Amino acid sequence: MQGRLSAWLVKHGIIHRSLGFDYQGIETLQIKPEDWHSIAVILYVYGYNYLRSQCAYDVAPGGLLASVYHLTRIECGVDQPEEVCIKVFASRRNPRIPSVFWVWKSVDFQERESYDMLGISYDNHPRLKRILMPESWIGWPLRKDYISPNFYEIQDAH
């Protein structure tokens, strides 16, 4: 089932894929990485002026990585703000997604955390570096195929 935003995007020739609605009735859309920055600008101009959150996850061992953006359209006098969830999937081998820092500055630390934990590179992010792990850390701890550098030490101790 196509939602209101998806219908508007189709009407204006903007390529995306509707993923339906989540359990709260929030419309979810899939955007290709190469289209994400320009569509983010369009969504901002359309009124999605607040980035509520950004997170990322590993879809499956050896599979795609997903960057998820929850956007809200806040307007004066509107009791029920419009929300949308955007999912951008990236290849595990070279996970690159355009940063939307220059659209929503609040994504700064959130994209850095997704980089730090899953290794997704956010192109044009002004300070893309580790935020939780030490700079010397090897690997991406939230990937499903991640093996901790301490794993073999623990195994040898038993």
Distance of CA 138 to the CA centre of its chain: 22
Domains of the chain in start order, with CATH, are 2-142 (3.30.460.80)
User: pLDDT tens digit string along 127-155?
Assistant: 999 999 999 999 999 999 998 776 555 54
Residues 114/120, Cβ–Cβ less than 8 Å? yes
What phi and psi values does residue 143 have, to the nearest 5 degrees? -75, 140
Q: Show the low-confidence residues of the chain (pLDDT under 70).
A: 150-158
pLDDT of the residue at 156: 54
pLDDT of the residue at 126: 97
pLDDT of the residue at 75: 82
pLDDT of the residue at 2: 84
Cα 130-132-134 angle, rounded to 5 deg: 65
pLDDT of the residue at 148: 79
pLDDT of the residue at 150: 67
pLDDT of the residue at 92: 95
Q: Quickly list H helices, 2-150.
A: 4-11, 33-46, 108-118
Calculate the CA dihedral of residues 7, 9, 14, 16 and round it to 10 degrees.
Answer: -70
pLDDT of the residue at 147: 86
pLDDT of the residue at 152: 55
Residues 41/94, Cβ–Cβ less than 8 Å? no
pLDDT of the residue at 27: 97
